Amino acid sequence: MKIVKENKNAVDIVVDFLSNGKLVFMATETVYIAAVDATNPRAVLKLISFKNRPFGKPFSIGVTHINMAEKYVVLNKTAKDLYKRFLPGPVTVVSTGKHTVASGVEAENGTLGIRIPDYQFCLEVIKKFGKPITTTSANASYQRRPYKLTDILDNISEKQKRLIDLMIDAGELAHNEPSTVIDTTLDDELVILRQGDIKLKDKNEVLSRSEENTQNIAKELWQKYEEYSGKRAIVFCLEGEMGVGKTIFVKGLARAMGIKEQITSPSYDLLLHYSLLTNHQSLVHIDTWRMIEPNSEFKQLVNDNLINQKSVIAIEWANRIRSEIRKRADDAIIVWVKIKYAKNLTDRLISWGNL
Amino acid sequence: MKILAIDTSCDETAAAITFDTKIVSNKIWSQAVLHASFGGVMPNLAQRQHQARIDWVIDCAIKNSELKIKNLDAIAVTVGPGLGIALGVGINKAKELAIKYNLPLIPINHVEGHLLSPFANAKELNAKFPMLGLVLSGGTTMLCLVKNIGDYEILAETSDDALGEALDKGARLLGLGYPGGAILEKIARLGNPNKYKLPIPLINDVVKNRFSYSGLKTAFVRLFSTIKDPNKQDVADLAASFQNVAFEHVLRVLEFQSKNQKFEIKNLLAGGGVINNIELRKRLRLLAKKHDMRVSFPYTKKLNGDNAGMIGVTAFLKIKNEKLKMKNFYDYDSVDRNPRLKL
Cα–Cα distance measured from residue B229 to residue B19, given in angstroms and rounded to the nearest whole number = 54
Q: Of the candidates A289, A354, A282, which has an alpha carbon nearest to the alpha carbon of residue A325?
A: A354
Residue A290 reports pLDDT greater than 90: no
Q: Of the candidates B95, B88, B144, which has an alpha carbon nearest to the alpha carbon of residue B116?
A: B144
pLDDT of residue B41: 45
Reported confidence tier of residue B8, pLDDT bands at 50, 70, 90: very high
Find the CB nearest B82 among A247, A269, A274. A269
Mean pLDDT, chain B, whole residue set: 92
Most confident among A190-199, A241-250, B27-36, B119-128 (mean pLDDT)? A241-250
pLDDT of residue B47: 52
Q: What residues contact A102, with CB distance under 8 A and at least 6 apart?
A: A37, A38, A39, A40, A41, A43, A44
CB spacing of B10 vs A269 below 8 angstroms: yes
B100 SS3 class? helix
So what CATH class is A203-354? Answer: alpha beta
CA distance A323 to chain B (A): 17
**Residues B27, B56 contacting (CB under 8 angstroms):** no
pLDDT of residue B172: 92
List CB contacts (< 8 A) between B139 and chain A.
Answer: 268-269
CA distance A214 to chain B (A): 14
Residue B120 reports pLDDT greater than 90: yes
Q: Of the candidates B84, B126, A110, which has an alpha carbon nearest to the alpha carbon of residue B92?
A: B84
CB spacing of A267 vs B222 below 8 angstroms: no
pLDDT of residue B42: 46
> DSSP string spanning A131-164?
S-EE-EESSPTTSPP-SSHHHHHTTS-HHHHHH-
ipTM of this complex prediction, to 2 decimal places = 0.90
- Range scoring the smallest mean pLDDT among A138-142, A166-170, B55-59, B230-234: A138-142
Find the CB nearest B160 among A265, A290, A345. A265
Cα–Cα distance measured from residue B94 to residue B104, given in angstroms and rounded to the nearest whole number = 10
* Torsion angle of C-alpha atoms B52, B55, B60, B66, degrees rounded to 10: 180
A201 compared with A178, residue with greater pLDDT: A178
**Residues A13, A4 contacting (CB under 8 angstroms):** yes
Could you say which architecture CATH assigns to the domain B2-116+303-334?
A: 2-Layer Sandwich (3.30)
List CB contacts (< 8 A) between B162 and chain A.
Answer: 264-265, 268
Buried b vs exposed e over A8-31: b needs ≥16 C-beta within 10 Å?
Answer: eebbeebbebbeebbbbbbbbbbb
Residue B39 reports pLDDT greater than 50: no
Q: Of the candidates A316, A314, A170, A181, which has an alpha carbon nearest to the alpha carbon of residue A254?
A: A314
A331 SS3 class? coil
In percent, the amount of chain B with pLDDT more than 90 equals 83
Tell me, letter by letter, the H, E, C secondary structure of B103-117.
Answer: CCEEEEEHHHHHHHH
Sorted by where each begins, the domain ranges of chain A are 2-169, 203-354
CA distance A303 to chain B (A): 11
List CB contacts (< 8 A) between A272 and chain B.
Answer: 339-340
Q: Which residues of B are annotated as a binding site for Fe cation?
A: 110, 114, 306
Q: Which residue of B has its CA nearest to A262?
A: B159
**Amino acid in position B22:** K
B35 compared with B59, residue with greater pLDDT: B59
A57 compared with A149, residue with greater pLDDT: A149
Sorted by where each begins, the domain ranges of chain B are 2-116+303-334, 129-298
Cα–Cα distance measured from residue B230 to residue A172, given in angstroms and rounded to the nearest whole number = 60
CB spacing of B81 vs A269 below 8 angstroms: yes
**Amino acid in position B299:** Y
CB spacing of A269 vs B139 below 8 angstroms: yes
pLDDT of residue B202: 95
pLDDT of residue B78: 98
Q: If you count them, how many residues does chain A have?
A: 355
pLDDT of residue B48: 59
B161 SS3 class? coil
Q: Which residues of B are annotated as a binding site for substrate?
A: 135-139, 168, 181, 185, 277
pLDDT of residue A293: 81
Cα–Cα separations (whole angstroms), residue B315 to A69, A321, B29, B126, B279: 70, 40, 21, 18, 31
CB spacing of A241 vs B221 below 8 angstroms: yes
Task: Give the domain B129-298 fold.
Answer: Nucleotidyltransferase; domain 5 (3.30.420)
Residue B40 reports pLDDT greater than 70: no
Residue B179 reports pLDDT greater than 90: no
Interface of B with A (CB under 8 A): 10, 43-45, 47-48, 81-85, 138-139, 157-162, 164-165, 168-169, 172-173, 178-179, 214, 217-222, 339-340
B42 compared with B231, residue with greater pLDDT: B231
A264 SS3 class? coil
Residue A243 reports pLDDT greater than 70: yes
Best residue of B10, B12, B83, B337 to probe chain A, by most A CBs closer than 10 Å: B83
Reported confidence tier of residue A302, pLDDT bands at 50, 70, 90: confident
Cα–Cα distance measured from residue A305 to residue A307, given in angstroms and rounded to the nearest whole number = 5
Cα–Cα distance measured from residue B238 to residue B230, given in angstroms and rounded to the nearest whole number = 9
List CB contacts (< 8 A) between A245 and chain B.
Answer: 214, 218
Cα–Cα distance measured from residue A114 to residue B213, given in angstroms and rounded to the nearest whole number = 38
Best residue of B169, B216, B218, B223 to probe chain A, by most A CBs closer than 10 Å: B218
pLDDT of residue B31: 56
Cα–Cα distance measured from residue A15 to residue A123, given in angstroms and rounded to the nearest whole number = 12
In tens, the pLDDT along A253-286 reads: 999 999 999 999 999 989 999 988 777 789 999 9
Find the CB nearest A262 among B159, B179, B214. B159
Mean pLDDT, chain A, whole residue set: 93
Q: Which residue of B has its CA nearest to A295?
A: B45
Cα–Cα separations (whole angstroms), residue A260 to A263, A283, B13, B266: 9, 12, 33, 36
Cα–Cα distance measured from residue B23 to residue B45, given in angstroms and rounded to the nearest whole number = 31
- CATH of span A2-169: 3.90.870.10
In tens, the pLDDT along A206-227 reads: 999 999 999 999 999 999 999 9
List CB contacts (< 8 A) between B83 and chain A.
Answer: 269-271
Residue B45 reports pLDDT greater than 60: no
